[in-house]
Structure 1
Amino acid sequence: MNSPAGDRPTNGGAPKGRPRSEAVERAILEGAMKLLEEGVPFAELSIERIARTAGVGKAAIYRRWSGKEALFVEVLRAAEPPEPPLPGTSMRDDLVVLLESLRRRGLANRGSAMLYTVHAQMKSNPRLWEEYHSTVVAPRHELTRQVLRRGQRDGELRTDLDLELLSDLFMGPMLVRAVMRPDGELPDLLAEEIVDTLLTGLRPPATPDP
């Protein structure tokens, strides 16, 4: 199928002087989602099939993504809620917001057959997992470390603790509940409970009055 008018490549690249069409990009993502919702396995989700479903040419996809792994990750990003803005009032408050975002992702995944299928297929594809990890998981992990680093700087957290380990300690319980235990409860105040429980033993000792 030919590319839509105005979106044809020029000399093998993107049209010069023209911004990429948001409508075309949205059509591609929705086409991929439609196929996933219909239960098409990732191995059968070819660029040709996605392009045909979206009503665009293959070149329109390759101008935006390097291949179906990168497109697949973008589908996940589009289907999940965006990263939340952090209040910045304290390390504790920022951690609660980050964990609450993971809790909501867990609830969304459970309520979406498409997302459940996507995550299940992703686990069996090393290249896809690597792409997802580098573009979604790693930035989220680094954001958590930044919050913890500020907490150490501001005296909210002991400075003798390893930030990599701390990030796993805070995020791990929520990830286990949200991803590894589909039947695990995700109550409204779970994020606060996890953060406050851990901070009880991680705050610096109180300085005695002179």
Structure 2
Amino acid sequence: MTAPRAEARADAASGPAGLPGRGPAGLPARGSAGLPARGRPRSAATDAAIIEAALRLLEEGVTVGALSIEGIARAAGVGKATVYRRWSGKDALMLDVLRSLEEPGPEPAGVSVRDDLVTILEFMRRRGLAKRNSVVMRGILAQMHAHRELWRAYDESVIEVRRELLRSVLRRGVANGEIRTDTDPELLADLFTGPMLSRAILHEWRELPEGLAERIVDTVLEGVSARG
């Protein structure tokens, strides 16, 4: 008996457990997509099987709107109760599916503001290239704006974390005299990320060549440098 099927039978026998805690937009908080049932450990293999099943259905052309807990459970070889023990609903599950497509972001060295900005933008460049090569990622992101609560939760738990990392580097640049003190951090963040996002998302036919991150950072820094 496979791990997912074994746990599905155990879930069916024990009945539904408590639902996970809430996070952004009413979805489970990061790291709490499914709390383990009292007295029984979570199965990582079952978690992975459910997420992989959702990804496989998306690869086969099923839209985010057409996905259902029943269909995902059937594709994963588990019962609906097994899915609901981990996620409160489809949007909560989809948030973890989206997270599974993400790779950990870079940790800036904290020495040179310029180098840290290049590190962040180079990560964005590589993600842009990966998205172009991933049918699943392109398809999901193209549909996300039609699912406002899901998009908001993804924005708050993934995109905003990365944006705050960028803002922290910019604040350090202002504090140590590398960036002018009269700059707006939010606008400045847009000036650095805008050109990369434009090429990666809005104009996917445009190239994302090596060295693009350095060119963007140096161009913007030249305009906002406190030493200019």
Same fold (TM over 0.5): yes
Q: How does 1:97-116 map to 2 (within 5 A)?
A: 97-116=119-138
Does 2:17 correspond to 1:12? yes
In 2, Cα distance between the equivalents of 1:30 and 1:62? 16
Does 2:98 correspond to 1:94? no
Letter in 1 for 2:156: S
Q: Tell me how large the CA RMSD over aligned residues is.
A: 2.0
In structure 2, stretches of 5+ residues that fail to align are 19-35
Work out which of the residue numbers 133, 136, 154 in structure 1 matches 2:158.
Answer: 136
Work out which of the residue numbers 182, 186, 195 in structure 2 matches 1:164.
Answer: 186
Query: Once the two structures are superposed, what CA deviation does each residue of 1:30-72 show, in whole Å capped at 9, x if it has no partner?
Result: 0110000000011110111111111222233233333222322
In 2, Cα distance between the equivalents of 1:159 and 1:6? 60
**Residue of structure 2 in register with 1:57 after alignment:** 79
Aligned length: 206
Give the TM-score of the pair, scaled to structure 1: 0.89
Shift of 1:11: 6.1
In 1, Cα distance between the equivalents of 2:172 and 2:82? 42
SS of the aligned residue for 1:42 comes to coil
Give the TM-score of the pair, scaled to structure 2: 0.83
Does 2:148 correspond to 1:126? yes
SS of the aligned residue for 1:4 comes to helix
Shift of 1:193: 0.6
**Residue of structure 2 in register with 1:32 after alignment:** 54
Moved more, 68-77 or 116-125: 68-77
- Taking a change above 3 Å as real, the CA distance of residues 146 and 59 of structure 1, as seen in their structure-2 partners, is farther
**Residue of structure 2 in register with 1:192 after alignment:** 214
| Alpha-carbon contact 1:7-1:21 (below 8 Å) kept | no
Shift of 1:186: 0.2
Letter in 1 for 2:8: P
In structure 1, stretches of 5+ residues that fail to align are none
Letter in 1 for 2:17: G
Q: Percent identity?
A: 53
Query: Once the two structures are superposed, what CA deviation does each residue of 1:52-110 show, in whole Å capped at 9, x if it has no partner?
Result: 11122223323333322232222222113221222222111111111111111111111
In 1, Cα distance between the equivalents of 2:172 and 2:11? 45
